[in-house]
Amino acid sequence: MGVLDIVPAGVLTGDNVRKLFDYAKENKVHFSRFTQKGLSHSRNAHIQLRRDIKAPIILQVSQGGSAYFAGKGLSNDNQQASILGAIAAAHIRTVAKAYGVPVVLHSDHCAHKLLQWFDGMLAADEAYFKEHQEPLFSSHMLDLSEEPKEENIATCVKYFKRMAPIGIWLEMEIGITGGEEDGVDNTGVDNASLYTQPEDIYDVHAALSSISPNFSIAAAFGNVHGVYKPGNHQAYSSQKLGGKSEKPLYLVFHGGSGSTKEEIKTAVDHGVVKMNVDTDTQFAYLAGIRDFVFKKKDYLLTQVGNPEGADKPNKKFYDPRVWEACSDLGNVSECQIELDR
């Protein structure tokens, strides 16, 4: 039985998200998520690829990417541009079901200073739920890893009590992922902070599982956007829970770009169900446009006139749909590489 026999096409919510991640744990696979930073940033190409290979996908927005969706002309002093942009990105709902692809629509790292963004998205979820009996998004991430553990957990509990009843999955982070990701820069963090203790993870599980099982934990295992070293976190929580499950935790792998096939396998073997990929696909997106410009540069200098004749039009080369399609192809090629890892 394949994953498409377990969950429906379209944007997944509620228990269907958990069914997807249960499938990942049981079959020792992971689902990659890709960040969307522009209104056409390959999302349709991503979905089309998944249709062709009959696989689900996780598409997400970041706070900075959401503001970019809304446009640089809008102020973002109170996260209003990021809120509007994130809501606009949910247009994925209009095409996902038509492609026959299960999609997890997710928002990435939301630090304490960005909670207004989270509040705005959650309000949109609640409004959508009143009309459609499901939330706008599949899941949201709270990244309060820079806060004291007690505050981190308490804030997650507060929000999860609002999220769980309307079917939103919560991803939370405890421990700090090194390096830099959209809106989050931890390049100067002390190495000791890059490792989450098993006791901390269990404390998170104990607090959130009393509300709903629909949550995952992005723990720090020394992963610095490319290196992932899982410890005995599953074993510790399993023991505390009486050994009913060898892998009671849904773990998330942040900083997946640049990881080797062996590193990814190790992570998946330890119960990782979701891996974040951004840096590799950004470069692949650029590479598609770059290669097109280098190859067709003599057709891109003027509107009329090229090596085929002084009066030959160049519209079919500078039309954004043409060169952007090349960026999509580059991005999709990288995504296929990620899927093969």
User: Are 269 and 284 in a shared domain?
Assistant: no
pTM, entire model: 0.86
User: Are 218 and 332 in a shared domain?
Assistant: no
Give residue 284's pLDDT.
79
Task: Please say which residue of 277, 308, 325 terminates a domain.
Answer: 277
User: In the 8-state DSSP scheme, what is residue 39?
Assistant: T
User: Count of domains in the chain?
Assistant: 2
User: Are 111 and 235 in a shared domain?
Assistant: yes
Task: Please say which residue of 277, 301, 329 terminates a domain.
Answer: 277
Clarify whether 108 is annotated catalytic: yes
Give residue 263's pLDDT.
77
User: Are 180 and 302 in a shared domain?
Assistant: no
Start-end of H helices in the chain: 15-27, 43-53, 63-70, 80-89, 93-99, 115-132, 149-163, 198-209, 233-240, 261-269, 279-295, 315-318, 320-340
User: Are 129 and 250 in a shared domain?
Assistant: yes
Q: Which H or E element spans position 276?
A: strand 272-277
User: Are 111 and 158 in a shared domain?
Assistant: yes
Tokens of 163: 């999220």
Segments of the chain scoring below 50 in pLDDT: 39, 223-229, 335, 337, 339, 341
User: Are 292 and 236 in a shared domain?
Assistant: no
Containing structural domain, residue 84: 3-277
Find, among 53, 33, 94, 31, the residue nearest to 278 by Cα. 33
User: Are 69 and 196 in a shared domain?
Assistant: yes
User: Are 95 and 119 in a shared domain?
Assistant: yes
Concatenate the DSSP letters of all residues of 293-304 into one string.
HHHTGGGSSSSE
Cβ atoms of 138 and 17 closer than 8 Å: yes
User: Are 218 and 318 in a shared domain?
Assistant: no
Give residue 255's pLDDT.
66
Find, among 91, 254, 289, the residue nearest to 182 by Cα. 254
CATH number of the domain to which 88 belongs: 3.20.20.70
Give the separation between CA 138 and CA 141, rounded to whole angstroms. Answer: 11
Options 15, 22, 77, 108, the catalytic residue: 108
Tokens of 331: 């991005």
User: Are 172 and 293 in a shared domain?
Assistant: no
> What length does the chain have?
341
User: Are 215 and 234 in a shared domain?
Assistant: yes
Task: Please say which residue of 232, 253, 277 terminates a domain.
Answer: 277
